[in-house]
Amino acid sequence: MRILVTGGAGFIASHVADRYLAMGHEVAVLDNLSTGFREVVPPTAAFYEVDLRDPDGLGRVFAGFRPEVVNHHAAQIDVRKSVDDPAHDAMINVVGSCHLLMECRRAGVKRFIYISSGGAMYGEPRYLPADESHPVAPEAPYGISKHTVEHYLEVERRLFGLQTVVLRYPNIYGPRQNPKGEAGVNAIFIGMMLQGQTPTIFGDGEALRDYLYVMDAVEANVLALEKGEGEAYNLGWGVGISVNQVYEALRELLAFPHPVIHAAPRAGEISRIYLNADKARRELGWAPRVEFREGLSRTVDFFRAGSPR
C-alpha cells in the first residue's frame, strides 16, 4: 500500500513510518518541521515539507504520491498553547485536518487512520478507567479540536465511504521524544536530569496519567490498516501513574541525587485520567506489551546514546 504519514518527522509518527516501511509498504512523510526533525524521517520514505494549512501544497503531495491510506498524526499538541491561543490550535488541528480530508476525497483515498486524544477529550473523568462511552468534556481547546475532527471523519465515512479508524492515545513516551517539551514529562525529566538540572513538577505531583510505550502505540497503527473501520479506540494500560512516581523511577534509573521542585499547577491540565482499552483488545486484537519500568529504561538508554534514531 502507499501510505502517507502526516507528522512523520515527529516522535510517534516516525516510528509508525519505520514500521510501515519494514512491512513492505511504500511510505511518504508530510511534516512542516515546526516541531519535528528531518533526521528522524526514514531515509527510504519520500518527504514533503508541507503545512496542513496549505491546501495547494497538500494538493501537490496527493497528486505526486497518490496515497491509498493516510495516517494522520500531525497536530498542534501543546495543551497550554491551546489555552493561550485557541484559534491557532483550531487552525492546525481542525482546519488543517479538513484540508487533508478534502484531498483524500478528491484523490479517492481508501482509509484514514486518525490520532485523537484519550488523555484530553474526556476531561475530569466521571469514572476510571474511562472507556469510549465516557462523556466528552474537554478542559482545554486541544481536547476540543482533536475530538471535533472525529465528527468530520464520521461525515466523510457516511457520505463518501472513507474507511476511518480513530486511535485515542494516552500519554505516549519512548525514544525520539523531544526533551525540549514535545508533550512528554518523561523525556523532559530525562533530558534535564542527564544535564544535572532538577525538573519542576507543576502542582502536587499526584496527577495520574496512563503511560504507553511508543512501540505499543505503533502496533495499534499496524492493526488499524486492516481492522476497526468506523470505530474509535482507546489505547492504554488502564492504570494511573503519578508524576511523582515517574520522577522517583527516573531518579533511581539515573542515580539522580536531588529531590523534585514543585510549582503552581497550570491551567487546562486535568488531575487524573487513564483509559479502558478493552474495546481495542476485543476488536483490534491489540494489547500493551512493554511495562512502564522497562519502557523508561529503554528511553533512558536512548537519550544516553544521543542518536536521533
* In-domain check, residue 8: yes
251 and 232 assigned to the same domain? no
* 247 catalytic residue (yes or no): no
Is the residue at 164 inside a domain?
A: yes
Q: How many domains does the chain have?
A: 2
How many Cβ atoms from other residues are within 10 Å of residue 229's Cβ? 12
| 72 and 128 assigned to the same domain | yes
Name the active-site residue from 20, 48, 122, 142. Answer: 142
Judge contact between 246 and 189, C-beta under 8 A: yes
What is the arithmetic mean of pLDDT over 210-236? 98
> Is 25 among the domain residues?
yes
28 and 115, same domain (yes or no):
yes
User: Nearest to residue 54, comparing CAs of 116, 102, 10, 120?
Assistant: 102
**Do 129 and 42 fall into the same domain?**
yes
Strands 241-242 and 208-209 turn out to be: antiparallel
CB atoms within 10 A of CB 88: 13
Q: CATH no. for residue 64?
A: 3.40.50.720
Nearest to 31 by CA among 56, 12, 5, 11: 5
Predicted confidence (pLDDT) per residue in 218-227, tens digit: 999 999 999 9
Q: What was the pLDDT predicted at 136?
A: 97
pLDDT value at 232 more than 90: yes
The reply to whether 191 and 100 lie within a common domain is: no
Residues 140 and 259 in one domain: no
79 in the same domain as 22: yes
Asked if 179 and 308 touch (Cβ cutoff 8 Å), the reply is no
| 255: in domain | yes
Mean pLDDT of the chain: 95
Q: Does residue 191 sit in the same domain as residue 78?
A: no
Q: Are residues 143 and 280 located together in one domain of the fold?
A: yes
CA distance 71 to 18: 13
Alpha-carbon distance 99 to 10, whole Å? 20
Count Cα atoms within 13 angstroms, Cβ side, for 100. Answer: 32
146 and 199 inside one domain: no
Domain that holds residue 253: 185-207+240-274+295-305
Per residue in 115-161, pLDDT (tens digit) is 999 999 999 999 999 999 999 999 999 999 999 999 999 999 999 99
For the residues 16-38, what does the mean pLDDT come to? 97
C-alpha cell at 293: 519500568
Judgement on whether residues 122 and 190 belong to the same structural domain of the protein = no
Instruction: Tell me the per-residue pLDDT of 239-294, one tens digit each, with 9 for 90 and over.
Output: 999 999 999 999 999 999 998 899 988 776 789 999 999 999 999 999 999 999 99
Q: What angle do CA 280, 223, 113 make, to 5 degrees?
A: 90
- The Cα 221–Cα 97 span in angstroms is 18
Question: What SS3 class is residue 172?
Answer: strand
**How does DSSP classify residue 238?**
S
pLDDT for the residue numbered 183? 57
Q: Is there a domain that residue 178 lies in? A: no
Residue keyed to cell 512493554: 290
Tell me the CATH number at 200: 3.90.25.10
